[in-house]
A and B are shown apart, each in its own frame.
Chain A
Protein backbone atom coordinates (compact mmCIF):
# COMPACT_ATOMS: atom_id res chain seq x y z
CA UNK A 1 0.00 0.00 0.00
CA UNK A 2 1.67 3.24 -1.10
CA UNK A 3 -1.31 5.56 -0.76
CA UNK A 4 0.37 7.59 1.99
CA UNK A 5 4.14 7.97 2.04
CA UNK A 6 6.36 9.53 4.68
CA UNK A 7 9.98 10.62 4.59
CA UNK A 8 12.35 10.13 6.18
CA UNK A 9 11.53 6.78 7.78
CA UNK A 10 14.11 7.33 10.53
CA UNK A 11 15.53 10.56 11.89
CA UNK A 12 18.02 11.27 14.65
CA UNK A 13 18.41 14.89 15.65
CA UNK A 14 19.99 16.93 18.39
CA UNK A 15 17.97 19.31 20.51
CA UNK A 16 19.27 22.35 18.65
CA UNK A 17 18.63 21.03 15.13
CA UNK A 18 15.85 22.00 12.75
CA UNK A 19 14.36 19.29 10.57
CA UNK A 20 11.13 18.60 8.69
CA UNK A 21 8.99 15.51 8.23
CA UNK A 22 7.17 15.09 4.95
CA UNK A 23 3.94 13.29 4.14
CA UNK A 24 2.35 12.80 0.73
CA UNK A 25 -0.96 11.16 -0.10
CA UNK A 26 -1.94 9.82 -3.50
CA UNK A 27 -5.56 8.99 -2.66
CA UNK A 28 -7.33 12.19 -3.66
CA UNK A 29 -8.23 12.92 -0.05
CA UNK A 30 -8.79 16.41 1.29
CA UNK A 31 -8.03 15.94 4.98
CA UNK A 32 -4.65 15.15 6.49
CA UNK A 33 -3.49 14.44 10.04
CA UNK A 34 -0.36 14.22 12.19
CA UNK A 35 -0.30 11.74 15.07
CA UNK A 36 2.33 10.99 17.69
CA UNK A 37 2.74 7.37 18.80
CA UNK A 38 4.72 6.82 22.00
CA UNK A 39 5.29 3.52 23.74
CA UNK A 40 2.40 2.45 25.98
CA UNK A 41 0.32 5.56 25.30
CA UNK A 42 -2.72 6.03 23.10
CA UNK A 43 -2.19 7.51 19.70
CA UNK A 44 -2.17 11.29 20.11
CA UNK A 45 -3.75 13.45 17.45
CA UNK A 46 -1.58 16.51 16.93
CA UNK A 47 -2.95 18.43 13.96
CA UNK A 48 -5.76 18.17 11.44
CA UNK A 49 -5.91 19.91 8.09
CA UNK A 50 -9.07 19.97 6.01
CA UNK A 51 -8.99 21.55 2.57
CA UNK A 52 -5.52 22.87 3.42
CA UNK A 53 -6.71 24.77 6.48
CA UNK A 54 -5.76 23.80 10.00
CA UNK A 55 -8.95 22.79 11.79
CA UNK A 56 -7.49 21.24 14.90
CA UNK A 57 -4.43 21.77 17.04
CA UNK A 58 -4.46 19.67 20.18
CA UNK A 59 -2.32 21.75 22.51
CA UNK A 60 0.86 20.81 20.73
CA UNK A 61 4.01 22.71 21.78
CA UNK A 62 5.14 25.41 19.37
CA UNK A 63 8.37 23.53 18.65
CA UNK A 64 6.17 21.49 16.28
CA UNK A 65 4.97 23.54 13.33
CA UNK A 66 2.76 22.00 10.63
CA UNK A 67 2.42 23.15 7.05
CA UNK A 68 -0.05 22.03 4.41
CA UNK A 69 0.78 23.67 1.07
CA UNK A 70 -1.81 21.64 -0.86
CA UNK A 71 -4.20 18.77 -0.29
CA UNK A 72 -1.58 16.15 -1.17
CA UNK A 73 1.31 17.30 1.03
CA UNK A 74 1.76 17.81 4.74
CA UNK A 75 4.89 18.80 6.60
CA UNK A 76 5.87 18.86 10.25
CA UNK A 77 8.68 21.29 10.97
CA UNK A 78 10.70 20.51 14.08
CA UNK A 79 12.96 22.78 16.09
CA UNK A 80 14.46 22.80 19.56
CA UNK A 81 12.99 19.41 20.40
CA UNK A 82 13.28 17.59 23.71
CA UNK A 83 14.23 13.95 24.31
CA UNK A 84 10.62 13.21 25.32
CA UNK A 85 9.59 14.11 21.78
CA UNK A 86 11.20 10.89 20.57
CA UNK A 87 8.38 8.82 19.09
CA UNK A 88 6.86 7.48 15.88
CA UNK A 89 5.15 10.27 13.97
CA UNK A 90 2.32 9.05 11.78
CA UNK A 91 0.61 10.89 8.98
CA UNK A 92 -2.88 9.98 7.83
CA UNK A 93 -5.39 11.16 5.27
CA UNK A 94 -9.12 10.75 4.75
CA UNK A 95 -11.81 11.67 2.29
CA UNK A 96 -13.50 14.32 4.35
CA UNK A 97 -13.18 15.62 7.86
CA UNK A 98 -16.40 17.53 8.10
CA UNK A 99 -19.37 15.59 6.76
CA UNK A 100 -19.85 13.43 9.82
CA UNK A 101 -19.68 10.28 7.70
CA UNK A 102 -17.74 7.32 9.10
CA UNK A 103 -14.69 8.17 7.03
CA UNK A 104 -11.65 5.92 7.15
CA UNK A 105 -8.20 7.23 7.76
CA UNK A 106 -5.31 5.83 5.78
CA UNK A 107 -1.94 5.91 7.50
CA UNK A 108 1.61 6.23 6.29
CA UNK A 109 4.42 4.04 7.66
CA UNK A 110 5.61 6.72 10.06
CA UNK A 111 8.87 8.48 10.82
CA UNK A 112 10.78 7.12 13.80
CA UNK A 113 12.24 10.20 15.48
CA UNK A 114 14.99 10.07 18.08
CA UNK A 115 16.02 13.27 19.83
CA UNK A 116 19.44 13.12 21.48
Chain B
Protein backbone atom coordinates (compact mmCIF):
# COMPACT_ATOMS: atom_id res chain seq x y z
CA UNK B 1 0.00 0.00 0.00
CA UNK B 2 0.91 3.65 -0.18
CA UNK B 3 3.26 4.88 2.53
CA UNK B 4 5.50 7.73 3.64
CA UNK B 5 8.87 7.37 5.36
CA UNK B 6 10.47 10.25 7.23
CA UNK B 7 13.79 10.53 8.99
CA UNK B 8 13.57 9.95 12.70
CA UNK B 9 14.15 12.89 14.95
CA UNK B 10 14.71 14.88 16.83
CA UNK B 11 16.71 17.10 14.54
CA UNK B 12 18.62 19.58 16.66
CA UNK B 13 20.09 22.70 15.07
CA UNK B 14 21.47 26.07 16.02
CA UNK B 15 19.71 29.18 14.79
CA UNK B 16 20.61 30.10 11.17
CA UNK B 17 21.71 26.56 10.33
CA UNK B 18 20.60 24.80 7.15
CA UNK B 19 17.76 22.33 7.52
CA UNK B 20 16.97 19.17 5.59
CA UNK B 21 14.28 16.71 6.64
CA UNK B 22 14.16 13.68 4.38
CA UNK B 23 10.92 12.20 3.11
CA UNK B 24 10.44 9.32 0.67
CA UNK B 25 7.23 7.75 -0.46
CA UNK B 26 5.74 4.66 -2.02
CA UNK B 27 2.61 5.04 -4.12
CA UNK B 28 0.98 3.12 -6.94
CA UNK B 29 -0.41 6.19 -8.68
CA UNK B 30 0.72 9.80 -9.00
CA UNK B 31 0.27 11.30 -5.57
CA UNK B 32 0.16 14.88 -4.46
CA UNK B 33 2.72 15.58 -1.76
CA UNK B 34 2.46 17.79 1.29
CA UNK B 35 4.40 19.02 4.29
CA UNK B 36 2.41 19.84 7.41
CA UNK B 37 3.79 21.47 10.57
CA UNK B 38 2.53 21.05 14.13
CA UNK B 39 3.59 23.67 16.67
CA UNK B 40 3.40 22.76 20.37
CA UNK B 41 -0.16 22.53 21.60
CA UNK B 42 -1.67 23.07 18.17
CA UNK B 43 -3.12 21.07 15.30
CA UNK B 44 -1.44 20.46 11.96
CA UNK B 45 -1.03 23.31 9.49
CA UNK B 46 -0.34 22.90 5.79
CA UNK B 47 3.15 24.24 5.13
CA UNK B 48 3.55 23.55 1.40
CA UNK B 49 2.49 21.18 -1.34
CA UNK B 50 3.39 19.91 -4.81
CA UNK B 51 1.01 18.19 -7.17
CA UNK B 52 3.23 16.79 -9.93
CA UNK B 53 6.79 15.78 -10.67
CA UNK B 54 9.40 18.57 -10.56
CA UNK B 55 6.98 20.96 -8.86
CA UNK B 56 8.55 22.96 -6.04
CA UNK B 57 6.41 23.93 -3.08
CA UNK B 58 7.55 26.84 -0.94
CA UNK B 59 6.32 28.82 2.05
CA UNK B 60 7.89 30.79 4.92
CA UNK B 61 11.38 30.08 3.61
CA UNK B 62 10.78 26.32 3.42
CA UNK B 63 11.03 24.47 0.10
CA UNK B 64 10.47 20.94 -1.16
CA UNK B 65 10.75 19.56 -4.69
CA UNK B 66 8.69 16.62 -5.95
CA UNK B 67 11.28 14.13 -7.26
CA UNK B 68 9.57 11.28 -9.06
CA UNK B 69 12.81 9.53 -10.00
CA UNK B 70 13.87 9.21 -6.37
CA UNK B 71 10.32 9.19 -4.93
CA UNK B 72 11.34 11.93 -2.53
CA UNK B 73 10.02 15.23 -1.20
CA UNK B 74 12.73 16.50 1.15
CA UNK B 75 12.02 19.64 3.17
CA UNK B 76 14.73 22.35 3.23
CA UNK B 77 15.26 25.75 4.75
CA UNK B 78 18.37 27.84 4.38
CA UNK B 79 18.38 29.46 7.82
CA UNK B 80 16.20 28.14 10.63
CA UNK B 81 14.87 30.19 13.52
CA UNK B 82 13.93 29.21 17.06
CA UNK B 83 10.30 29.76 16.05
CA UNK B 84 10.61 26.91 13.51
CA UNK B 85 10.80 24.40 16.37
CA UNK B 86 7.89 22.04 15.74
CA UNK B 87 7.02 18.60 14.40
CA UNK B 88 7.02 18.29 10.61
CA UNK B 89 4.88 15.72 8.80
CA UNK B 90 5.33 14.59 5.23
CA UNK B 91 2.14 13.31 3.57
CA UNK B 92 0.90 12.02 0.27
CA UNK B 93 -2.52 11.81 -1.25
CA UNK B 94 -3.88 9.45 -3.87
CA UNK B 95 -7.37 8.45 -2.80
CA UNK B 96 -6.64 9.28 0.85
CA UNK B 97 -4.20 11.38 2.80
CA UNK B 98 -1.37 9.32 4.33
CA UNK B 99 1.05 10.81 6.84
CA UNK B 100 4.56 9.94 7.91
CA UNK B 101 5.41 9.58 11.59
CA UNK B 102 6.66 13.14 11.92
CA UNK B 103 10.10 14.63 12.59
CA UNK B 104 10.65 16.87 15.57
CA UNK B 105 12.86 19.90 14.90
CA UNK B 106 14.49 21.70 17.83
CA UNK B 107 16.27 24.97 17.10
CA UNK B 108 18.43 26.55 19.80
CA UNK B 109 19.63 30.18 19.94
Contacts and interface: CB of A to CB of B under 8 A. Distances in A.
Interface of A: 1, 4, 6, 40-43, 45, 56, 90, 92, 100, 102-110
Interface stretch (B18-26, B74-82, B95-103): B95-103
Interface string B35-78: 01000011111100101000000000000000000000000000
29 contacts: A1-B45, A4-B43, A6-B43, A40-B101, A41-B101, A42-B98, A42-B99, A42-B100, A43-B89, A43-B102, A45-B96, A56-B96, A90-B43, A92-B43, A92-B44, A102-B51, A102-B93, A104-B34, A104-B46, A104-B49, A105-B46, A106-B46, A107-B36, A107-B43, A107-B44, A107-B45, A109-B42, A109-B43, A110-B42
